[in-house]
């Protein structure tokens, strides 16, 4: 099986405070991995190490069999598209189309090929009709879909989304997640997705969930396997997805008849 990302014996410290110590992770090409952990668990640091924005003290990172080094960092990075948390920090173009064009210009795509590539990328994320809009007039979810189109236009093998829905309202979050599901269907094994999140509902959409805390891998399995470990998740500051948490409580409760009002009141006490 081709490995999209292989991290071997990784060590990294901030100010001599070790965060990762002998950390290992392999991600198969075509997988959708949700990397989850509470705030400060090391998720963003791991993404920065994979992109070569931070340099490991020890250990190896391979991206599609290419070892990340000072010499290879630009080539390795060209295989990875990154979408960040804040939709407003990701725009450089005056219009949506300009924004997608910017990345293509950077990799010296012929100007005659640009319009087609821009249209294709925007169509995939359902934003083609907005191509002449100024980015600041879009909703948060639309902005993140444009950010995704800008990345997709460059045809990366891997896309890493670092808390890309954290600043969105529920509608925006839903549209971005739907877009990712569509992408995964369309590109299949050709696209590896890594979604960094602390939203467990989002993590349910991935094929594999890796839970990290204090730079350690705590759980690693399918969403069903990981979400069966309620106690471990709670110990690591994480909740089950809402539906699973509800199912858990419904299994043991309610042990008496409740009218609608009482049931709503009881439901509102869950997770507290």
Write out the residues near ligand ATP by the rule CB under 6 A.
14-15, 19, 37, 39-45, 198
Contact residues for 70 (Cβ-Cβ < 8 A; gap 6+): none
Evaluate whether 66 touches 12 at the Cβ level (below 8 Å): no
Nearest distance from C-beta of residue 56 to ligand ATP, angstroms = 13
The SS3 call for residue 37 is coil
Q: Determine the Cα–Cα distance for residues 220 and 133; give it in Å rounded to an integer.
A: 42
Catalytic residue, candidates 163, 178, 190, 245: 163
Evaluate whether 158 touches 68 at the Cβ level (below 8 Å): no
Strands (E), the chain: 3-14, 17-28, 32-36, 58-63, 66-67, 80-83, 158-162, 192-197, 208-213, 216-221
Q: Determine the Cα–Cα distance for residues 174 and 205; give it in Å rounded to an integer.
A: 12
Has 163 been annotated as catalytic?
A: yes
Nearest distance from C-beta of residue 42 to ligand ATP, angstroms = 4
Length of the chain equals 272
Q: Which is nearer to ligand ATP, 142 or 213 (CB)?
A: 213
- Residues forming a β-bridge with 197: 36
Q: Which is nearer to ligand ATP, 4 or 19 (CB)?
A: 19
Contact residues for 3 (Cβ-Cβ < 8 A; gap 6+): 26, 27, 28, 29, 62, 64, 65
Report the catalytic residues: 163
């Amino acid at each position: 099986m081709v490995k999209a990302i292989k991290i071997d014996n990784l060590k990294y410290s901030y100010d001599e405070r070790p965060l990762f110590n002998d950390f290992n992770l392999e991600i198969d090409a075509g997988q959708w991995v949700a990397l989850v952990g509470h705030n400060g668990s090391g998720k963003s640091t791991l993404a920065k190490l994979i992109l070569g924005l931070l340099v490991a003290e020890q250990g190896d990172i391979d991206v599609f069999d290419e070892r990340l080094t000072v010499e290879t960092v630009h080539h390795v990075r060209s295989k990875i598209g990154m979408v960040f948390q804040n939709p407003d920090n990701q725009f450089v173009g005056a219009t949506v189309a300009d924004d997608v064009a910017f990345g293509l210009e950077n990799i010296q795509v012929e100007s005659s090929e640009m319009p087609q590539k821009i249209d294709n990328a925007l169509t995939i994320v359902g934003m083609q009709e907005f191509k002449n809009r100024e980015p600041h007039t879009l909703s948060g979810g639309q902005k993140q879909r444009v950010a995704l189109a800008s990345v997709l236009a460059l045809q990366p093998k891997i896309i890493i989304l670092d808390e890309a829905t954290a600043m969105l309202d529920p509608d925006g979050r839903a549209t971005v997640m739907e877009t990712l599901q569509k992408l995964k269907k369309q590109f299949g094994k050709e696209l590896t997705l890594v979604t960094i999140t602390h939203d467990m509902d989002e993590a349910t959409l991935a094929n594999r969930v890796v839970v990290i805390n204090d730079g350690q891998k705590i759980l690693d399995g399918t969403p069903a396997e990981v979400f069966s470990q309620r106690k471990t998740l709670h110990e690591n500051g994480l909740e089950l997805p809402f539906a699973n948490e509800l199912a858990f409580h419904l299994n043991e409760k309610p042990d008496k008849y409740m009218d609608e009002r009482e049931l709503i009141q009881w439901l509102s006490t869950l997770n507290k």
